[in-house]
Amino acid sequence: MPVRPLPEKPSLQHLKYQAKDVLKGHAAQDPAVAQRIREFHPCWAKASDAEIFATDLNLSDAQLTIARECGFSSWTKLKRRVEQPKPGDHLNLPHHERIEDPGFRRAVEFLDAGDAEGLRAHLKRHPDLARRHVAFEGGNYFRNPTLLEFVAENPVRHGKLPKNIVEITKVILDAGVEESSLNETLMLVATGSIPRECGVQMDLINLLCDRGADPNSTAETAAVLFELQAVDALLARGARITLPLAAALGRSEDAQHLLPNAASEHRHLALGLASQYGHLEIVRLLLDADEDPNRFNPVGGHSHSTPLHQAAGNGHLDVVKLLVERGARLDVKDIIFGGTPAGWAAHAEKKEVEAYLRAREESR
């Protein structure tokens, strides 16, 4: 789920109160608090609600959860940000203006200007630069990128890419990059609106895969973020069809074939994706296999919401009706905005879905 950005003038005392609220919610066995702990505390990333509630959560655990929920790796780093902010901490600045390493910043300037020759010469003068990382705190992703990851314009910095971005990318690749950077860049390209809008998403996907990026590392994330053209490209480059991908693409026969041997986390994500895209038969298939419609979606799959939120917000009335008939609760609020499924339908102006859900609320 997205992190909660700090306000312009954050209060450490208020953040301490938030940590205490996590402890109270844990003691009260609040499923929304369990989801936040699962998402942001590294020790319980795979734990069930019952396992989280059975733990002896202490204040340090709660503070770490809050810190990571704000986009910081530790409470100490969050505390430093509040008490001693640096110029690079200002989240209102685009990422290239927050870079403190002058050599790295100059490389990004060459990249943004489309200056392939200038970038090539700069990388020759600084041979370690293509493998160097720059650290950003306070964001949901793009926290420790290499230079290569800046080619995706994701997060958005300028709202456009240089026309020769494929050539620029080749210059960086030729300088030598880590495999993890290849895969991270592929994910950023495949899920980014700017590469798609600039007409270079497919070219960049193919280039990165040619240089060794793993299409399996990205395909499900692209599906979660509605980048189905990128999903098709990744499948063409060898990504395996998984149960979540079958659910997103509405491939019912593949879903039936994959379901019996699918891991629990794949079933969980598949229900969220099938609901998000409105694939009724696959939703029914997963519910018949005892998937719980009232669990929050898994980490990496719009985890602040439930399948019913996703179906309602995307206007899939038939899926909404099926989920409600199978016991999906109408009163569960999403973790970020505090909205019920009916509220999501109202916000998205899905009037028929909202009317159905309001009527069901009144009848209970």
Separation of alpha carbons 20 and 12, rounded Å: 13
Give the model confidence (pLDDT) of 221-232 as tens digits.
999 999 999 999
- Residue 158's nearest CA partner among 192, 118, 205, 116 is 192
Whether 71 has a pLDDT exceeding 90, the answer reads no
Whether 48 has a pLDDT exceeding 80, the answer reads yes
Confidence (pLDDT) at 89: 67
Confidence (pLDDT) at 129: 96
Query: Are 105 and 111 a contacting pair, CB within 8 Å?
Result: no
Query: Quick one: fold of 95-236?
Result: 1.25.40
Confidence (pLDDT) at 37: 94
Confidence (pLDDT) at 141: 81
- In the block, tokens 């319980």 appear at 44
Q: Could you check whether 95-236 and 243-362 share the same CATH topology?
A: yes
Query: What is the average pLDDT value for the chain, to the nearest integer?
Result: 94
Whether 1 has a pLDDT exceeding 70, the answer reads no
1.10.1040.10, 1.25.40.20, 3.40.50.300, 3.40.228.10: which CATH number matches 243-362? Answer: 1.25.40.20
Separation of alpha carbons 168 and 111, rounded Å: 7
Which range among 7-11, 233-237, 290-294 shows the weakest confidence by mean pLDDT? 7-11
Give the model confidence (pLDDT) of 133-151 as tens digits.
998 887 778 889 999 999 9
Give the model confidence (pLDDT) of 192-217 as tens digits.
999 999 999 999 999 999 999 999 99
User: Percentage of residues in the chain with pLDDT exceeding 70?
Assistant: 99
Strand ranges for the chain from DSSP E: none
Identity of residue 340: T
Domain residue extents for the chain: 12-85, 95-236, 243-362
